[in-house]
Amino acid sequence: MEDKDLRSIQEARELLRKAKTAQKALEALSQEKVDAIVGTMAEAGEREAERLARMAADETGFGNAADKETKNLFAVRTIYSAIKDMKTVGIIRKDEANKLWEIAQPFGVICGIVPSTNPTSTTMYKALISIKTRNAIVFSPHPSALACTLEAARIMQSAIERAGGPKDAVACITEPTMEATQELMKSKLSDLILATGGTPMVRSAYSSGKPAYGVGPGNVPAYIHQSAKVKEAVRRIFESKTFDYGTICASEQAIVTDRAVKTQVMEQIRANGGYMLNSEEKSKVASVILAGGRLNPNIVGRSATLIAEMAGIAVPAGTRVLVAEETEIGKAVPFSLEKLCPILALYTCDNWRDGCLTCTKLLENGGLGHSLGIHCEEMDVIEAFGLEKPASRIIVNAGTTFGAIGATSGIFPSLTLGCGSYGHNITSDNVGPMHLINIKRVAFGLREMELDNRIDQAARQVESKLAAEISRDEVKDIIRKVLEEIQAGNS
């Protein structure tokens, strides 16, 4: 093993040890103190949102600084606003009618896996929900996003210290290796894994022997029904798809349109800066989508014009999205797969049931359990999609990027989106603070257990032995009196 690997493992162990001590200190804090610390963290993140966004865009080459700033602000404003008044310390709920108390207990030390596509926003979001629930967190950054992730973690750590909390409650590996990540996930000092990243990393988290919240890929289709307000639908899809150049896994990967409105859809695609690829151009772009049978990392989070240049095709300077008509779906069909960049497939269907089937096939091709968009004004069609589609988030008349993370919908705001059993995840929720606590229950007795069956059984046993010497009713009376005396003695 190389010295770097050994150093990284040792660093992981040391950070976990310090985090464990810090977590014990956190656990002793009141709700008011915890809330003050989290508020200071959010304020610090808001002040540094723009600088962190520039760092992330420059270091990774993914997306753009303006949208990354919006993501950072989503973490420290929108998510913070949703969690700031939550009860996460002590008795968090009393049900007087059922005489039941619920008590929050933190997991302990969390291992936080950070993706390269959303490094700073993910780091701050996970730090906020961890400290809110009195958990410590140690981050494993993606090597290509190391500097910006370290800086985001440092900002959170400094804020904790300024607010009077234990600074080691947030930490980050400075020399990331697979060995260090494995140490974080499998160590006896870690208690839970928040795995936001690629499928191999999520699978590794699930096989670590520790509780883990993972995510799945999002091959998100957006269906446009004939009743849709087409102009608004395409505008929302394009705003969603182009946000940070498509790096959020909830972004649309394909438009599925009813044939009745296809002409309008294509007009609006062009009006919104979409470029319809011809057959030759489609083949050239397809060749850069996949590399060695997998998504080409060089196109992730890149602009449409840059991808066109990679493919050797000429597009207008203002092109925002590359769009290709498609009829096939499969692992060998590049446009039918998840593409974390401004490329869309366009499918045509005869009616909503045909569209429903196409959307299902696209989800089965690599996005089971994630999200789906539908643009429609007919409630029965929307209901059918909700009931039938294998997606955890059905986003109606909104861009899926923003609707799925809870920015423009009533879904809980989050940057970790579970895919449920469809996607081999433990939850279909948007992960938040309540996923990071154990809930203990204090339950008072409400009623006595009915014991007639026990009395009857005992009476039959005694009756069989005494035969006619004593009646069954007399035996039952004796047993009942004995049981009452026992219960009285135990109370």
Query: Residue 446 domain-assigned?
Result: no
Among candidate residues 421, 441, 461, the one where a domain is terminated = 441
Q: What is the pTM of this model?
A: 0.91
Query: Residue 477 domain-assigned?
Result: yes
Query: Residue 270 domain-assigned?
Result: yes
pLDDT of residue 228: 99
Q: How far apart are the first and last CA of the chain?
A: 63
Count of domains observed in the chain: 3
Same domain, 189 and 264: no
Same domain, 300 and 357: yes
Same domain, 248 and 167: no
pLDDT of residue 35: 99
CA-to-CA distance for 33 and 233, rounded, in angstroms? 45
Query: Residue 425 domain-assigned?
Result: no
Kindly report the number of other CB atoms within 10 A of residue 297's CB atom: 13
Q: Is-contact 110 193, C-beta < 8 A?
A: yes
Residue 245 sits in a domain whose CATH number is 3.40.309.10
pLDDT of residue 467: 56
CA-to-CA distance for 416 and 426, rounded, in angstroms? 12
- Residue 353 β-bridge partners: none
Tens digits of residue pLDDT in 462-488: 666 655 566 767 767 877 887 777 777
Same domain, 236 and 382: yes
pLDDT of residue 342: 98
SS3 annotation, 310-336: HHCCCCCCCCCEEEEECCCCCCCCHHH
CA-to-CA distance for 222 and 130, rounded, in angstroms? 33
Same domain, 86 and 210: yes
Same domain, 280 and 233: yes
pLDDT of residue 486: 75
Same domain, 174 and 235: no
pLDDT of residue 114: 96
Tens digits of residue pLDDT in 47-66: 999 999 999 999 999 999 99
Q: Is-contact 189 20, C-beta < 8 A?
A: yes
Same domain, 353 and 461: no
Same domain, 173 and 275: no
Same domain, 234 and 266: yes
Instruction: Using alpha carbons, list the distances in angstroms from residue 271 to 265, 276, 294, 309, 385.
Output: 10, 11, 32, 22, 28
- State yes or no: is 172 an active-site residue: no
Nearest to 380 by CA among 349, 356, 412, 408: 356
Residue 189 sits in a domain whose CATH number is 3.40.605.10
Query: Residue 108 domain-assigned?
Result: yes
Query: Residue 424 domain-assigned?
Result: no
Catalytic residue among 111, 172, 249, 376: 249
pLDDT along the chain (491 residues), means of 10: 82 98 98 99 99 98 98 99 98 98 98 96 99 99 98 99 98 96 95 88 88 93 99 99 97 99 99 98 97 92 98 97 98 96 98 97 97 98 97 99 98 97 95 98 93 70 62 75 74 58
Same domain, 380 and 458: no
Query: Residue 447 domain-assigned?
Result: no
Rounded to 5°, angle at Cα 278 from 272 and 280? 140
pLDDT of residue 121: 98
For the chain, give the longest Cα–Cα distance: 105
- Strands 274-276 and 321-325, by their bridges, are parallel
CA-to-CA distance for 246 and 261, rounded, in angstroms? 25
Same domain, 203 and 250: no
CA-to-CA distance for 342 and 357, rounded, in angstroms? 24
Structural domain boundaries, residue 325: 220-411
Query: Residue 419 domain-assigned?
Result: no
Task: Name the DSSP class of 306.
Answer: H
